[in-house]
Amino acid sequence: MTQFEIADLTNSTLEVVAAFQDNYATHISILLTLIFGFCAVSYVAGKKLTTFQVMLASFMFLVASLLQTMWIISWITLSLDRLTELTQLNPDALSRGMTGVVTSWASSWVLRALAISIWLLGIVAPLVFMWSVRHPKTK
């Protein structure tokens, strides 16, 4: 490949990665909206809802949140894969520090598992909050 082709491929890849990042930023916003919306409903109307309404709201929240989390993980994985390919093709395409971060993140299943665990904890926390609103501790 010529230097021009490598530069063109580098720029194209960075544009694709930027589009991927825009997509997962959108899904993160949607997920945070779902989480805080469910917490608000839990706080305001949690005790007044019937068991069926709570189960339905919880089920809908859980499904929507898991779908958003799946999309976040998919877009981040695609983004990291493209950046890894880019650093293999042109090691100078990213700054030296960024290259190490991308390759260590993309190859580390521990970091990916930690990120997934944090997102899943963010989904479970509002469900626990709803439970605590509906079943307050009495002294």
pLDDT at 60: 95
The one-letter amino acid at 2: T
pLDDT at 102: 60
pLDDT tens figures, 88-112? 776 666 665 555 556 565 566 777 7
Domain definitions of the chain by residue range: 3-134
Whole-angstrom distance, CA of residue 83 vs CA of residue 102:
7
pTM exceeds 0.85: no
**Per-block mean pLDDT, blocks of 10 residues, the chain (139 long):** 76 79 85 93 91 94 92 82 75 60 62 81 92 82
Which three-class secondary structure string do you get for 76-133? HHHHHHHHHHHHHHCCCCCCHHHHHHHHHHHHCHHHHHHHHHHHHHHHHHHHHHHHHH
